[in-house]
Each structure stands twice: as structure tokens, then as C-alpha cells.
Amino acid sequence: MRTIKAAAIYARISSDAEGTGKGVERQIEDCRRLAAELGWPIAEEYVDNDISAYTGKHRPNYQRMLTDITEATIDAVLVYNLDRLTRRPVEFEEFNAILSAAGVTDVRFVTGDMDFGTQDGLLIGRIQAAVASNASGKTSERIKRKLDQVAAEGRPHGGAQRPFGFDADKITHRPAEVAIIRQLADRFVAGESLRSLAVWLNNGNMPPSTGDQWRTNVIRRLISSPRSVGLREHRGEIVGPAVWDPILTTEQRDRVLAILEDKKNSGRRAPRRYLLSGLLRCGRCEERLYSAPRKTTRRYVCMAGPDHGGCGRLTVVAGPVEEFIADAVLYRLDTPELAEALAGRARQDEDTARLMERVSADREQLAELAAHYAERRIPMNEWLTARTIIEDRMKANERRLRQATNTSQLTGVIGQGGALRTQWTNLNLDRQSAIVKAILDHAVILPGTPGATTLDHDRVKPVWRL
């Protein structure tokens, strides 16, 4: 009889919803008692908590145990049951091959009796692994069917983590958090970046429902997800209305999605440092001015060369021209001319509203179509054909919607130029830029007097959008 010098205990549990690890602790305790009965000294305990053995997901400590067996650090293995070790026939064969190569035959189970050193024992092990795999497959199918049914009924999925904005039941609103979500959507549509919103939240306004720091991807999902408008999403598809009330309107979410799409297409990611980027034109050649810092001075410059095409003969210091334009914009917010321009814009907004209604109707039709498919009222080929037609139509309207100019950036500030002036320096630069861009189409910078140390305001010729 072989003398065991270094035995390993392996313990695993597929799901630890409470996160306490009590399931694997019980396995380890039973394996320790068995080791004491056999007189095997325990060299190492390998634990994979909350990891399935059926899906083939990487189990770091299981792999570490196999390495130690290969390197002859371990010469025996103790496991509570074979299905704790593996639920996949192919993995059973891989484990047996590693044992054979290392000359290890001593494997014991707390429940069940199987001898890896005999062909009959291996046959029993192969049968048990196949049975465990089949049982796991049936369990997985039942879980998937249950999840499909829960989604079709519009109910939330399980899990301990509650979504931000909702109580633990994932249905009841938390008023304070709902107010934050609505404010995030409004400020994002008004021109603030996700990064600045994350900084604002992390400065103590409201902690997230998970973790201790807000991140831009979390905020993006929060204000753009189907959940926010009372829709149930399942496996990447909207399957129908949810049982909870919406936090945002469909129109709000559509505007958020349109802006996110534009940002993705533009590729601009660096934090903004210039208020008037893309808004200034050279008074000599009419080409765009580009931001170009020199040492500690921020400047806008007309750049020559094939990539820019300017004359290269005009420069203006950024600070003074930004202050002048900001003052002009704030003044214009209170003028009758802006009110008249907005009256004309209202007619265009009617077209925008119709586009949004069409997009919303298409989304509802997609959800209804998905519900019919989930209930087996239509076959897959009909569902795919109809979905493609609706999605193409919806994408075309979304493109038109993104191209339509709107005044959402000016919500709450029209006629408030005087009051806004006192708050201007405290606004995020993205918010300042959004207000300016909503009113100013561009400004022409005329040539200045050589040697001048201050900005001549006559050099700046604004061209108003509104």
C-alpha cells in the first residue's frame, strides 16, 4: 500500500448567491475528516467558489491543482463528490490522463466509491460524469425557459444586485435616485460629457448601487438602456413592456441614443479644453481655425498645409475671444431676435417630433413582434424578415432625427442670460460649449493690428444660428 505524503482537497460550488462560501466550507470539512480517517496529510486545499463545472469556464484553482499533480507536488486527491470535480466527460478524461502521466491513483470521494486505478472504477467514473453532464444540461434548459418566461411577462430577472433607481424588488422606484437619472439624461442631452457627469456624481451627490465609484460606462447604460423607459430586455433584444414604470420618456432616450451615436461616429474622446473648437473661421481665407497651444498660452490658429488648407497668417489668443463670444451669447439669450428665431425653429421641431413618434412606434412594433415569436405565434423566418424591415426603417428615421437641429441645449436658459452670467464660470466646459453651439453658427476672426496686446472686439464677427 502506497504511503501518501501530500494530499490535495478540492472543493467547488456552482452558485454562491449569498457570497459566504459556506457551501465549499462544508465540503472541505468533510474532506478533512476523510483525510484523517485515511491518515493522509493535507498539503493544499484548492477552492473554486461560485464557478460552474458544466460550462467549461476557467477554474483557476482547479488548474493550479492539475499543475501541482503534474509537477509531483501532490500525490493524492480528496473531493466531496465527482460532480464537484467535473461535470463534463471530456474534462473527466483530461483529469484521468494527468493522473496517469503523474502516476497518481489515489483519489477518494466523501460520497461515492470509485477507483481511478482500475478499469471498472474508470467506467463508473465515466458513467457518473455523463449523468452529471446530462443533469446539468437539463437544468440549464429549465433555467433558460424560466428566464424566457420571466422576460416575456416583463418581470425583472433574479440576482441580489438592485439596479440604480429601484428598490430591491427591482420594480419600485427610489425617488431620489430616479431624480438623479432624469437629471443625468437632461444634462447629457444639454451637452455635458459622460466624464463630467461621473466626476459630478463622484463628488458626493449620490453613490452607485454597486461599487464605490461612478464610471462613464455605467452612466451611459443608465440613461440609454431599455429599462429606463419601461421596456424589458432579454439576450440583447427588447421583448416587450416591463412591469415597472418608466423613468425617462421614449423621446428623452431617443435623444440620448442619437447623441451617443454621433459621439461614436465623431470619435472625439479627449477632454475639452477650448470653448470655441470648430466655431471660428479665418477672416483672410475663410478656413477653420484650429486650437494650438504655445507654452502656457492657448491660441486659435489658421493652419497652412495639405491637411488644413488655411493661409497660415492669422492667430488669436483663446481666452479673450472666448470671453467675448460667451458674453455675446448670454446677451443674445435675452433678445427679441432669439425669440423670433425660435418661433421659426418650432415649425422644424414639429417635423422632429413626428420623426420621434415614428421611431417610438417602430420600437413598440419590434417589441410586439418579439413577443409573438417568444409565444411561438410566428416562425423564426417570418420574425427575422419582419424585424429586418422594421429595423431598417427605424434606423433611417434615427439618422434623420440625428441630423435634425434641436434646441434642447437651451432648455431652462432662454431669457435667463443675465442670471446665467453669474453662474457661467461654474458650468462645465461641455455645458458652456453646448449653449454656445446652439446659438452661434460660427464667428469670423478678422486680421488684427500687429503688436496689439489686447483683443479688438471689431475683429470678431459672430454669425448666429439662432
Domain boundaries, the chain: 7-143, 175-266, 280-464
**Model confidence band, residue 37 (pLDDT cutoffs 50, 70, 90):** very high
- Beta strands 76-79 and 107-109 are parallel
- Return the closest-CA partner of residue 29 out of 70, 65, 80: 80
The model's pLDDT over 316-357, given as tens digits with 9 standing for 90+, comes to: 999 999 999 999 999 988 887 776 666 565 555 566 667 767
Distance CA 157, CA 10 (A): 32
Q: Which residue has the higher pLDDT, 38 or 419?
A: 38
- Return the closest-CA partner of residue 165 out of 222, 241, 83, 81: 222
Q: What is the CATH number of domain 7-143?
A: 3.40.50.1390
**Model confidence band, residue 9 (pLDDT cutoffs 50, 70, 90):** very high
**Model confidence band, residue 209 (pLDDT cutoffs 50, 70, 90):** confident
Distance CA 49, CA 13 (A): 5
Answer yes or no: is pLDDT of 96 > 50: yes
Answer yes or no: is pLDDT of 403 > 80: no
Q: Which residue has the higher pLDDT, 136 or 210?
A: 210
The pLDDT score that the predictor gives to residue 205 is: 64
Answer yes or no: is pLDDT of 383 > 90: no
In sequence order, the 6+-apart residues with CB closer than 8 A to the CB of 176 are 206
Distance CA 6, CA 21 (A): 25
Burial class (CB in 10 A: 0-12, 13-18, 19+), 86: buried
DSSP H helical ranges for 167-272: 175-189, 194-200, 216-224, 250-266
Q: Which three cell numbers stand for residue 24?
A: 465549499
- Beta strands 280-282 and 440-445 are parallel
Percent of the residues in the chain that have a pLDDT greater than 90, as a whole number: 27
Q: Which residue has the higher pLDDT, 212 or 413?
A: 212
The pLDDT score that the predictor gives to residue 462 is: 94
Q: Which three cell numbers stand for residue 166?
A: 429601484
Neighbour order of strands in the sheet with 42-49:
42-49, 7-13, 76-79, 107-109
**Beta-carbon count within 10 A of 353 CB:** 13
Answer yes or no: is pLDDT of 138 > 90: no
Supply angle C-alpha 361, 224, 169, rounded to 5: 100
Lowest mean pLDDT among 122-131, 421-430, 444-453: 122-131
Q: Which three cell numbers stand for residue 349?
A: 421641431
**Model confidence band, residue 46 (pLDDT cutoffs 50, 70, 90):** very high
**Model confidence band, residue 255 (pLDDT cutoffs 50, 70, 90):** confident
Distance CA 180, CA 209 (A): 13
Question: Which of 306-321 are b and which e, b meaning 16 or more Cβ less than 10 Å from the residue's Cβ?
Answer: eeeebebebbbbbeeb
The pLDDT score that the predictor gives to residue 384 is: 84
Q: What is the mean pLDDT of the chain?
A: 81
Average pLDDT over residues 78-98: 84
**Model confidence band, residue 19 (pLDDT cutoffs 50, 70, 90):** very low
Answer yes or no: is pLDDT of 421 > 50: yes
Answer yes or no: is pLDDT of 211 > 80: no
The pLDDT score that the predictor gives to residue 391 is: 84
Distance CA 59, CA 81 (A): 17
* Pair 173, 245: CB distance under 8 Å: yes
Answer yes or no: is pLDDT of 459 > 90: yes
- Return the closest-CA partner of residue 289 out of 273, 311, 269, 264: 311
The pLDDT score that the predictor gives to residue 379 is: 86
The CATH number, out of the four listed (3.30.70.360, 3.40.462.10, 2.40.160.100, 3.90.1750.20), of the domain defined by the range 175-266: 3.90.1750.20
Q: Determine the angle formed by the axes of helices 380-403 and 336-374, rounding to 10 degrees.
A: 170
AA letter at 196 = S
Phi-psi domain of 396 (left: phi exceeds 0; alpha: psi -120 through 50; beta: other): alpha
The pLDDT score that the predictor gives to residue 16 is: 43
Average pLDDT over residues 284-313: 87
